[in-house]
Amino acid sequence: MKTLAELSDDLAHGRTTSRALVEHCLAAIDDSDGEGARVFLQVDREGALATADYMDGLRARGAAPSAFAGIPISVKDLFDVAGQVTTAGSKVLQGSDPAEFDAPTIARVRAAGFVIMGRTNMTEFAYSGVGINPHYGTPANPYDRATGRIPGGSSSGSAVSVADGMAAVTLGTDTGGSCRIPAAVNGIVGYKPSAHRVPLEGAYPLSASLDSIGPLGNSVRCCAAVDAIMARDWDGHVPTRDVRGLRLGVLKTIALNDLDAHVGSDFETSLSALSAAGAVLSDIEIPELNGIGALNTKGGLSAAEAFAFHREQITAQGDDYDQRVRQRIAAGAEQSAYEYLDILKARDDITAAADAVTVDYDAVVMPSCAIIAPAIADFAELDDYLRLNFLLLRNTAMGNFLDRCAISLPMHKPGSAPTGFMLMGAWDEDEALFSSAAAVEAVLGARRSA
């Protein structure tokens, strides 16, 4: 699938139509050798074709609602879409009433003319970075399908839908890395905004303190365009910026521990390429980050807030949950009120310390995940599940804890195991981060295609 800019230009100059794009995506979904049956929990075939024809008609009359009108998009199963049941990847919610209204994010992309292909699979209730779903099946990562590797989570189907050409872009959520992890292990771009910018209404919650809504796409500018439409606080235009003089802080605290050989090699090669291109790299330490682990021994903010939301549902239907998800949510019951408040206070203190160290940098950089996508079979035992889930989440979760914006870019060579290069910006500096990320993307993209 091309980038949004390329597809928009093709539509504007008559080289394609929205119907042709939608039919292409439907063919990818229907491919018996592909993962469409596990990527999508619901495909709106008739609605997508009808919307495509409508957008083609508007474009022919010069009345397209935006440059992106007619381009296919997929949406994670935790967003309310009017007339559809929001199951959040669970069996528990299958009998719920259909949503009466679109979530604000859905309404905004629909108003821009995007064609919604359907609802994508996810980790149940968005609670893991792995992407395994025992209820609806697990979509296999496009890399090494013979082995059958995880798609990353929790926006698993979302990422594979873009990587496999079933949609041009997709909407996900990110509470500890759920946009950036699947982007990293599937070889695409995933964005986590400063959380306050995109409205959370109509998205099934996990953690009120950490949840955010972000896009996944084929380029930094794809994600920027969709972010701007959802947030409505900027125009989405990312100016071209030279990487020369870009100030990047290479985080040494925690982020480089236990990297597998693929990730470590790709990250060092990427840093070398950026340095050669003129970026200014400096090693930085934020020792206060070492305290986050102790704060999460009972599940941290996400477990406490998830349990508060799920406790009655778990009591009534706990056996219908993915038991790994149920166990992690139930850990929130072990926290006392004072422990929860202590975490909130510590979060403020650690955030202030991190801000003081990073204030002079355009972005803090690190690998998105410490490991490549493991095989689905590697998660059979609970201890392995928890260990590998931690290695996938560890780096990305820092951005949520610190309430920063962050983005994952591909840094691997084509044909090799996908790995992600993450840039983390300051709170509410999303536009600046997109500009920095586009400059980095140009260097890494040139290296990957060399």
Q: Which of 154, 209, 212, 435 is catalytic?
A: 154
DSSP state of 29: H
- Tell me the pLDDT tens digit for each residue of 145-196: 999 999 999 999 999 999 999 999 999 999 999 999 999 999 999 999 999 9
The C-alpha torsion from 131 through 180 and 80 to 306, rounded to 10°, is: 70
Structure tokens, 332: 């929130």
In sequence order, the β-bridge partners of residue 420 are 410
Check residue 446 and give its pLDDT: 83
Rounded to an integer, the average pLDDT of 402-413 is: 98
**pLDDT for residue 327 is more than 70:** yes
The whole model's pTM is what? 0.98
What confidence tier does 92 reach under pLDDT thresholds 50, 70, 90? Answer: very high
**pLDDT for residue 449 is more than 90:** no
Measured CA to CA, the distance from residue 228 to residue 235 in angstroms comes to 6
DSSP state of 15: S
Handedness of CA 159, 376, 408, 201 (dihedral sign): positive
- Tell me the pLDDT tens digit for each residue of 350-365: 999 999 999 999 999 9
Instruction: Taking each helix axis as running N to C, give the angle between helix 220-231 and helix 104-111, from 0 to 180 degrees, rounded to the nearest 10.
Output: 110
76 is catalytic: yes
**Sheet with 213-217, side-by-side order of all strands:** 40-43, 115-120, 72-76, 169-173, 213-217, 189-192, 406-410, 420-424, 363-367, 247-251, 280-284
Q: Nearest to residue 343, comparing CAs of 305, 306, 297, 295?
A: 295
Check residue 447 and give its pLDDT: 72
Q: Which of 8, 74, 178, 207 is catalytic?
A: 178
Q: Nearest to residue 356, comparing CAs of 348, 345, 367?
A: 348
**Domains in the chain with CATH codes:** 4-231 (3.90.1300.10)
Rounded to an integer, the average pLDDT of 310-315 is: 97
Quick check: helix, strand or coil at residue 213? strand
Check residue 38 and give its pLDDT: 98
User: What percentage of the chain exceeds 70 in pLDDT?
Assistant: 99
Q: Which of 76, 128, 155, 219 is catalytic?
A: 76
- Tell me the pLDDT tens digit for each residue of 16-56: 999 999 999 999 999 999 999 999 999 999 999 999 999 99
Instruction: Taking each helix axis as running N to C, give the angle between helix 220-231 and helix 4-12, from 0 to 180 degrees, rounded to the nearest 10.
Output: 80
**pLDDT for residue 450 is more than 70:** no
154 is catalytic: yes
302 is catalytic: no
